[in-house]
Structure 1
Amino acid sequence: MTRVTVWNEFRHEKESTVVAEIYPDGIHTVLASVFEDAGFDVTTATLDEPEHGLTEDVLANTDVLTWWGHAAHDEVSDEIVDRVRDRVLEGMGLLVFHSGHYSKIFKQLMGTTCSLKWREAAEKERLWAVEPGHPIADGIDEYIEIEEAEMYGERFDIPAPDTLVFTSWFEGGEVFRSGCCYHRGNGKVFYFRPGHETYPVYHNEDIQQVLVNGVKWATPNDGPAPAFGNADPIEAIDLSDERTVH
């Protein structure tokens, strides 16, 4: 059974009545329920817990970590960010949602500013499945229509994705790369744009399907573990060369 840890900043829900009405127990509890219904083994963690809830033991027992943050990216400890990065490189999957594009962990894994255009106007979004054969698009129609969304627009300062699964069009005219897949070390990373806190996006069944698909895609497999460093030859060769400087 895939072990999922749902991480949430969990600040807006405490400070905004608008957000609390949509997610009274936190965004993480809604996401956890979606993943539990899909048959995953789910735990949650939040910013204000000791070590942000991401202890070495928690991460060692996590196959896929999901990340939602917005207002307090700078409060996330660099030590914890490095800990999460190391687990991704080892093979743990990472799903980064919406404003998590500015999280320390996503920017570190991308190596760019991850900046973009944005606008809050409760405008319509059409989320187009531009790679319909990808596992993350499984069970999704040609597009998902979201009646109210925060606009994110290009240019999105990220490396070119290994695979672009979804592209968004917004009522105001902008477009955005909204579903981006990457490989980092042995781990898989999926950035998924929808999820603004003042709109009930995570209650949308199609969005929930994408999230479940994303966890399945990012779950580590049983492929061979790569070996690094000085290596003995597989075939018999002459090892008498003494010109090494190592």
Structure 2
Amino acid sequence: MTIKVTVWNEYRHEKTDAEVAAIYPDGIHNAIANYLKTDEQLQVSTAVLDDPEHGLTDDVLQNTDVLLWWGHLAHDEVSDDIVEKVQQRVLDGMGLIVLHSGHASKIFKKLMGTATGTLKWRDTGEIEKIWVIEQGHPIAQGLGEYIEIPKEEMYGERFEIPAPDKLIFISWFEGGEVFRSGCCYERGRGRIFYFRPGHETFPVYHQAEVLQVISNATFWAAASK
């Protein structure tokens, strides 16, 4: 079975911030897509905010089994019409993986039914330990007890989201904060996974364990197709 994957990214930080461009010269979307392309079961394409229709045309969406979403600077620039189309595709069975600050995206908030998605945050570059609390879940396949990220932005509770259908990961940070960092939901026929790590100024999407989680989540989210 071939799973058709679209990796969507704003692709703004990489074009305006030299530090981010040095880490992701081809964009965060390509860092993720290039890893996923190593699996022959995945047919992977990319789309960015400044593409016509944000790269999410009717044809693209109809031919996407799993959509990955990374956004930060320009949530408000995403067309409401495109958000409605993505929502309908999820309800019809398309999987959605929302990464890092995509928690504040229009599509995630719409599907969650929350107006905020607010949380605590601190960007000082500290250790994050992502503890696996559901070792038998497909998204945690191949992982140890935890993933350690040497430098990351802190996200802390209270995280204003609905209670997850299944919580796979909890993060701990040097300052003592914890965070629900791997959250599974079902909306209509579609599966949704929120995965916390991925601040643009750190090479998180070059870390093997993080990419493994994204790959695992892609197969899990596609299971409803």
Are the aligned partners of 1:68 and 1:99 in contact in 2 as well (CA < 8 Å)? yes
User: Could you tell me how far apart the structure 2 residues matched to 1:129 and 1:3 are?
Assistant: 27
Which residue is 2:37 aligned to? 36
Work out the CA distance in 1 between the residues paired with 2:31 and 2:71.
15
Contact 1:128 1:144 in 2 (8 A): yes
In structure 2, what is the equivalent of residue 108 of structure 1?
110
Q: 5+ residue gaps in structure 1?
A: 223-246
Maintained 8 Å contact 1:63/1:220: no
Give the whole-Å Cα distance in 1 for the aligned partners of 2:147 and 2:125: 16
Q: TM-score, normalised by structure 1?
A: 0.89
Shift of 1:220: 3.7
Deviation at 1:221, TM superposition (A): 3.5
- Residue 22 of structure 1 deviates from its aligned partner by 0.3
1:7 and 2:8 aligned: yes
Structure 2 distance, partners of 1:66, 1:105, is: 12
Residues 1:219 and 2:222 are matched in the alignment: yes
SS of corresponding position for 1:195: coil
Q: Which amino acid aligns with 2:186?
A: H
Match of 1:174 among 173, 177, 188: 177
Q: Aligned AA for 1:189?
A: I
Q: 1:193: which partner in 2? A: 196
Q: Considering Cα pairs closer than 8 Å and 6+ residues apart, tell me whether 1 or 2 has the greater RCO.
A: 2
Deviations 1:69-122 (A, max 9, x none): 000000000000000000000000000000000000000001111110100010
Equivalent residue in structure 2 for 1:153, among 126, 151, 156: 156
Distance 1:49 1:206 in 2: 30
Equivalent in 124, 128, 152 of residue 127 of structure 2: 124
CA distance in 2, matches of 1:190, 1:127: 15
State the partner residue of 1:89.
91
Q: What is the root-mean-square deviation of aligned Cα atoms in Å?
A: 0.7
- Is contact 1:92–1:220 with CA below 8 Å preserved after alignment? no
Q: Which residue identity does 1:106 align to in structure 2?
A: F
Q: Check whether the contact 1:118–1:152 (CA below 8 A) recurs between aligned residues.
A: yes
Map of 2:55 onto structure 1: 53
Q: Secondary structure at the match of 1:219?
A: helix
Q: Give the alignment's TM-score, normalised by structure 2.
A: 0.98
Q: Which structure: larger Rg?
A: 1
**Is the 2:191–2:224 Cα contact (8 Å) retained in structure 1?**
no
- Higher deviation after alignment, 35-44 or 173-182: 35-44
What's the CA shift string for 1:32-69, capped at 9, x where partnerless? 11110122100100000000000000000000000000
Matches within 5 A, 1:230-245: none
Q: Distance in 2 between matches of 1:88 and 1:144?
A: 29
Q: Structure 1 counterpart of 2:103, which letter?
A: H
- Which residue does the alignment assign to 2:206? 203
Q: Which moved more, 1:213-222 or 1:184-193?
A: 213-222
Measured in 2, the distance between the counterparts of 1:47 and 1:24 equals 17
SS in 1 for 2:150: strand
Aligned length: 222
1:233 alignment partner in structure 2: none
SS at match of 1:37: coil
What SS does structure 2 have at the residue aligned with 1:180?
Answer: strand
